[in-house]
Amino acid sequence: MIPFFNQKRVLVTGAGGFIGSHLVEALVQSGASVRAFIRYNSRADCGLLRMIDPQIRADLEIIGGDLRDTQAILHAVKDVQLVFHLGALISIPYSYHHPREVIETNVMGTLNILNACLENGVERLIHTSTSEVYGTAQFVPINEQHPLQGQSPYSASKIGADKLAESYYCSYDLPVVTVRPFNTYGPRQSARAVIPAIITQALSGKPIRLGNTKARRDFTYVTDTVHGFLCTAEAKDVEGGVFNLGVGQEVTIEDVCEIVAAQLGQKIEIIHENERLRPEKSEVQRLLSDNKLAQDRLGWSPEIQLVEGLERTIKWVKGNLGFFRVGKYEL
């Protein structure tokens, strides 16, 4: 239990997602009273919250709705002290096909969160950005002053959301802090993301079908990302700030394949598929985080290196292969 969170009334949007479900677990274990906002569906499906400890899930207040629904968000924010806003449509390929839905959800949904937090006088809103807003690195390591580049409808929507958050801090003194995770990975992540796509295909014994394997990324294990969120909630005098949550080490997608192959003790074949490639000008070739500001102001630093994180992820995937459609290209 963390004293800061003990009995804190907390809302997590996107609670049924990959990072959100891990954050909900950590908050409950830290003593918080958690309201989990998930996207409503008629199946009463709570997303990845179904995979957490049933005792933890029993302590949650789970409510369904849509980020674009102003009244639903006002209801969700009512009487809470902290808001972690992770809710978003996050798939880059999906954003090529459905840019309006992505922009409405990520921009207008964030506007609804900002207004509800302002109306309800929350103590702090932690807004979730993404390293994709930087686009292909113009210099490395990428610090928070790096230019923002909308190379996909998704990244453009997140830039818009980030700037709205900034404007509400400047215009209304809303106590909002923005965190910018770099390529989080780990248990529960779908094969829409590259690391579980590699692992699931490698475990099947078939060739690994990928797109651009030369792209360089800074991968952060999910418990480190979650710890960054918790540090952001506790840190003093950081309102209005933006903080990178990245390890500060880069690898190519080919490098990840080689590490996974070594850990599985097998040789792998890579097949490049054009359908998995982004449009040429939309491809982000390099992301490498400068996390010094987060270390200095949030007291955060990553603990799990890539080799260990991949070992943990492989172990989880092996025990949960039924969670995946192996080899299927997921938008």
DSSP conformation class of 269: -
Burial class (CB in 10 A: 0-12, 13-18, 19+), 16: buried
Residue 141 has pLDDT above 90, yes or no: yes
157 part of a folded domain = yes
pLDDT of residue 331: 66
pLDDT of residue 215: 97
Coil, strand or helix at 47: helix
237 part of a folded domain = yes
**Helix or strand (DSSP H, E) at 11:** strand 9-13
Strand partners, 125: 83, 176
pLDDT digits (tens, 9 = 90+) for 73-128: 999 999 999 999 999 999 999 999 999 999 999 999 999 999 999 999 999 999 99
pLDDT digits (tens, 9 = 90+) for 302-317: 999 999 999 999 999 9
75 part of a folded domain = yes
Quote the radius of gyration of the chain (alpha carbons, Å): 19
Its domain, for residue 29, covers 3-188+220-247+287-304
Coil, strand or helix at 277: coil
pLDDT digits (tens, 9 = 90+) for 31-86: 999 999 999 887 878 999 999 999 999 999 999 999 999 999 999 999 999 999 99
Coil, strand or helix at 217: strand
Q: What is the mean pLDDT of the chain?
A: 96
59 part of a folded domain = yes
Q: How many CA atoms lie within 13 A of 129 on its CB side?
A: 29
pLDDT digits (tens, 9 = 90+) for 243-266: 999 999 999 999 999 999 999 999
Residue pair 159/133 in contact by the 8 Å Cβ criterion = yes
pLDDT of residue 38: 97
Q: Residues near 129 by Cβ (< 8 Å), separated by ≥ 6? A: 158, 161, 162, 178, 179, 180, 181, 242
Residue 34: name the closest of 47, 18, 22 by CA. 22
In the chain, the number of structural domains is: 1
104 part of a folded domain = yes
196 part of a folded domain = no
268 part of a folded domain = no
Distance separating alpha carbons of residues 95 and 132, to the nearest angstrom: 13
pTM of full prediction above 0.75: yes
Give me the CATH number covering residue 42. Answer: 3.40.50.720
